[in-house]
Structure 1
Amino acid sequence: MRALIDSVLADVAMAPLDLAPRRFGRVVACDGGLIEVSGLGVPIGSLCRIAQGNGTEHRAEAIGFRNGHTMMMMLGDTVLLRPGAVVRPEGQPGMLYVGEEFLGRAVDGSGSPIDGRGPVGSTTAWPAGGHRVSALDRSRVTEPFDSGIRSLNALTTFGVGQRIGIMAGSGVGKSVLMDMIVEGARADAVVVGLIGERAREVSDFVGR
């Protein structure tokens, strides 16, 4: 026991001293994925980390306010979440990190890498909602977009700047068609968001 105490004290002695003030709140209520946090007034859209005290952390996003408490939606499950857990804000409210450092990487919904290749390292912040552009300032769709698939180019031509929807039943080849467009399209960069897909399908898509 003495050796264990000495080891812990040695680790504490070597840790950097940081006396800067830190803002934090505490979890006071939880209903499914919705939690209430007291003592932490952060803007809507702020991302926060919830410490469990046992080395695990949860992440949540501020979505509203009620009776002096901040309402947050959990970004994940609530397993092991306990009353009084410490909640701390992270990053800039309403901002996401972007940049060329993300090219060739696989990340989750919060921008954290899931490909095992270490941190992304981007330092450029961008509003999560993007910059609003007036409808009159948007350019017209006048240039055809080469999807790399001749049948689409001939029969349902895409346009640069146009939004396209692929709608069909499950298991009929939507993901395969997307994969073909990603492989054949002429573009400087391709960003693919796999939202609501099964983990196995995400792994297959990224591994192609």
Structure 2
Amino acid sequence: MKEYQTITEISGPLVFAEVDEPVGYDEIVEIETEDGRTLRGQVLESSEGIVSIQVFEGTGGIDRNASVRFLGETMKMPVTEDLLGRVLDGSGNPIDGGPEIVPDERQDIVGKAINPYSREYPEEFIQTGVSAIDGMNTLVRGQKLPIFSGSGLPHNDLALQIARQATVPEEDESGEGSEFAVIFGAMGITAEEANEFMDDFERTGALERSVVFMNLADDPAVERQVTPRLALTTAEYLAFEKDYHVLVILTDMTNYCEALREIGAAREEVPGRRGYPGYMYTDLAQLYERAGRIEGKEGSVTQIPILTMPGDDDTHPIPDLTGYITEGQIMMDRDLNSQGIEPPVNVLPSLSRLMDDGIGEGLTREDHGDVSDQMYAAYAEGEDLRDLVNIVGREALSERDNKFLDFADRFETEFVQQGYDTNRSIDETLDIGWDLLSTLPKEALNRIDEELIAEHYREDETAEAVQAD
């Protein structure tokens, strides 16, 4: 252990110190102040003769007389199965009043990159209980599927709903299979939001199968860089060593990226797009690519990162780069929210690139893909007709066009709308889909196999619709 009293500069969350021996990148540092406090930090940059250290607890109280100790190891997360049901702060310390964590082992928070050759292709269904996701943009094990939201939209409610309801189908008829766990990492949230999260976890009992990491808005920005890595290290341990299927929910990635920008400014780095560091793509990829399945391992890590798009701009660097790395996105819509649709998910710009591999016979129902395609096409046509109605009026449309307009309305109020406390099975979701599709003429269902139409199409729905007209 090397100790120095050679601090030369303090800038924001950074401390610069002179050294006479090489110091490793990401090495953990302890800084002891004159009043006896010990603060933890991490080497951010190491060059000949000087190192820059980012301090997790902030640099308040540090002066040039403070002692700097380099511990010779990188930051590690103490992991154990007993973490389930615990609430930790953004640095991994318990804040729930429970006992100290007795770890089975300590793992490097940077993690180990999954060898692409060893990756298993994600193709097994995860049921979230949310029709707009399960039916139209299906999540599969090992996928990374972000939620793109905006300021003021209820993405936290959707995140909690998924955390409560998400399950994987049983592995076999005996009901035996891998257990399911949720890792919830909150970054830069307010104390009010934190209380809402905890009240919901405790009220619904979801905390029993969850590990919660809480980094609040008034916590140091540096800690925000550590929180998702601690969460993902815990997820990897549970998935690949304890055979859990783990769903990792990270909110809000925008706050994480703002912390990157703040630290980049303190280091006087040359900024990239809109002031964010040029390495932000690489940094986000290091997090998102920790989702996946490994050949020969029962468990899996699935990610749902949540980000708020500044100004609802999906070309902003954060959603833009996230979209390049991940396999689709779930889009929340301000207009649907103003209409009282819960959750306000707009399925048209949403996408799950792995959906086709995670649905169908043996995974969900054999009609899943056809129903999804047909509802997407019918809703898109109804949306286009809404624009036309604003110009020519509804009376100028044909009977067929009016049916598609009605379909679009019912799709939003019956399929997407379900509230945050309703948990729909995939069978219930697809049955609602058939109820809606049965209001359209059979000849309009050009994306569904005829055998499936014969089996599921409900003539009485069409008759009721005609009678209502």
Q: TM-score, normalised by structure 1?
A: 0.80
Unaligned runs of 5+ in 1: 1-21
Residues 8-67 of structure 1: per-residue CA shift (max 9 Å, x gap): xxxxxxxxxxxxxx5322333211212112347542112222111324332211111134
Match of 1:36 among 16, 26, 44: 16
1 CA distance for matches of 2:71 and 2:101? Answer: 16
Of the two, which has the highest radius of gyration? 2
Q: 1:146 to 1:114 in 2, by over 3 A?
A: same
Say if 1:61 and 1:73, in contact at 8 Å, map to a contact too.
Answer: yes
Matches within 5 A, 1:17-166: 22-26=1-5, 27-39=7-19, 41-90=22-71, 92-166=73-147
Q: 1:179 to 1:128 in 2, by over 3 A?
A: same
SS state at 1:63 partner: strand
Say if 1:44 and 1:64, in contact at 8 Å, map to a contact too.
Answer: yes
1 CA distance for matches of 2:72 and 2:137? Answer: 43
2 CA distance for matches of 1:92 and 1:125? Answer: 12
Tell me how far 1:73 sits from its aligned partner: 0.9
Say if 2:23 and 2:46, in contact at 8 Å, map to a contact too.
Answer: no
Q: Which has the higher mean CA deviation after the structures are superposed, 51-60 or 139-148?
A: 51-60
Tell me how far 1:179 sits from its aligned partner: 0.2
Unaligned runs of 5+ in 2: 168-178, 201-469
Q: 1:180 to 1:91 in 2, by over 3 A?
A: farther
Say if 1:28 and 1:84, in contact at 8 Å, map to a contact too.
Answer: no
1 CA distance for matches of 2:53 and 2:198? Answer: 31
Residues 127-158 of structure 1: per-residue CA shift (max 9 Å, x gap): 22211122232111211111132342112211
2 CA distance for matches of 1:123 and 1:87? Answer: 30
Tell me how far 1:72 sits from its aligned partner: 0.6
1 CA distance for matches of 2:34 and 2:81? Answer: 35
Q: Which residue of structure 2 lines up, in the alignment, with residue 202 of structure 1?
A: 194
Say if 1:64 and 1:71, in contact at 8 Å, map to a contact too.
Answer: yes
Q: Which residue of structure 1 lines up, in the alignment, with residue 158 of structure 2?
A: 177
Percent same amino acid among aligned pairs?
A: 25
Superposition RMSD in Å: 2.1
Q: 1:197 to 1:73 in 2, by over 3 A?
A: same
Tell me how far 1:103 sits from its aligned partner: 1.5
Residues 68-101 of structure 1: per-residue CA shift (max 9 Å, x gap): 1221112132211111201234584243322213
Match of 1:190 among 174, 182, 198: 182
2 CA distance for matches of 1:146 and 1:203? Answer: 27
Equivalent AA in structure 1 for residue 197 of structure 2: F
2 CA distance for matches of 1:114 and 1:41? Answer: 36
2 CA distance for matches of 1:53 and 1:119? Answer: 28
1 CA distance for matches of 2:191 and 2:22? Answer: 35
Equivalent AA in structure 2 for residue 207 of structure 1: D
2 CA distance for matches of 1:101 and 1:37? Answer: 39
Say if 2:2 and 2:69, in contact at 8 Å, map to a contact too.
Answer: yes
Tell me how far 1:207 sits from its aligned partner: 2.8
Say if 2:125 and 2:139, in contact at 8 Å, map to a contact too.
Answer: yes
Structure with larger RCO (C-alpha < 8 A, sep 6+): 2
